[in-house]
Amino acid sequence: MYLVDGTAIDVSKATLSTAWDISTASMTSETLDVSGQDPTIYNVYGNSDGTKIYLMGSGNDTIYQYSTVLTTNTLDLSTGSVFEITPTSDFEFGLSNPADSGTVSGATLLLDGAVDPSTAYKIDNISYDSKSLDVSAQETNASSVQFNSSGTKAFVLGYAGDDINQYSLSTAWDISTGSFDSVTFSVSAQQSTPTSFIFKSDGIKFYVIGYGTTAVHQYDLTSPFDLSTASYASKTFSVTQDSTPLGLEFKPDGTKMYVVGFANDTIYQYALSTAFDVSTASYESKSFSVTSQQAGPREFKFNSDGTKFILCGDSSDYLYQYSCSTAYDISTASYDSISYSINSIAPWSSTGSTTYGLTFKNEGSK
């Protein structure tokens, strides 16, 4: 039985030695402090199996949900020695199939903790990791890079070969551990000068843009993030707002698409009536000019909730940060007056290289 204390703003637990007989109740030492959610709690309810508790808060006119059971993960030691997990709540870990008795063995558990939202995706606190991946053997004009969802694969698009090259990272998100998979997918039949591409989050689709045909082309993969299984989906969308479209971005749910126009220094917004189907795209008459910061924009990426984005280009070796007052609505964007010079990173400082593409680790920490 759960009891609400509106003064202490907590929930206490009692046990009944005879089911449903409150005269047999005795209080336990277990309490749940809910003052951080609501200053006035009036009602509590538990689901039938006791795994959830619901509280009614009149202070904020809100119902709050709590879990009473830890999420459990079992690590099977017969399958490997290194395990990587990104917790979304408290976890309890168990081990199965250990080595025979008397045999010394070990395992490593890598926990990817939550990133401080005050630092995620922000470019005013960048520091160079001194890690890089040379792709010149496959592509001399690399223009865009993407990763799979776990950071174990990297993909580089270039317009020298008009193709995408696939790499494996032996350590997730560490590009210095990358090696070429000897897997390449050509987009030359659709796009003679590809400049940017992006995967659907589940890796079963990707999209390519360029100014050879001023269009976005859609591709399917039968195996997620495996370019050897890719094929052209025979779906395309012609960009008429800018004569040199170079960058491409999507809203995560696939209902919005964004194109960076190099000729007009402007980002354009499109709606897709069928999510992730570029053939259903239409211009929403929404745009945002970045010419005051970057005359020659190449690519941009939203943060995880669409309230900020980072832009790069080749007229200056800077990244620029912007905010959207309405998430994923490019017409509500404004410059944050925050920038970062890529030329501060060796070896860029000695070559004066231009910035063609950028991407982020999922939670914005790299």
Which of residues 347 and 265 earns the better pLDDT score?
265
* pTM, rounded to two decimals: 0.71
Is the pLDDT score of 124 beyond 80? yes
Helix, strand and coil content of the chain, in percent to the nearest 5, comes to 5, 45, 45
Work out the angle at residue 276's Cα, subtended by the Cα atoms of residues 112 and 314, and round it to the nearest 5 degrees: 70
Question: pLDDT value at position 282?
Answer: 98
Q: Which residues contact 218 (CB under 8 A, 6 or more apart)?
A: 205, 206, 207, 232, 233, 235, 236, 277, 278, 279
CATH architecture of structural domain 127-351: 7 Propeller (2.130)
Question: pLDDT value at position 78?
Answer: 78
Confidence of residue 103 (pLDDT cuts 50, 70, 90): confident
Confidence of residue 6 (pLDDT cuts 50, 70, 90): low
Question: pLDDT value at position 353?
Answer: 64
Q: Where in the chain is the domain with CATH 2.130.10.10?
A: 127-351
pLDDT per residue over 272-301, tens digit each? 999 999 999 999 999 999 999 999 999 999
Burial bucket for residue 334 (CB in 10 Å: 0-12, 13-18, 19+)? exposed
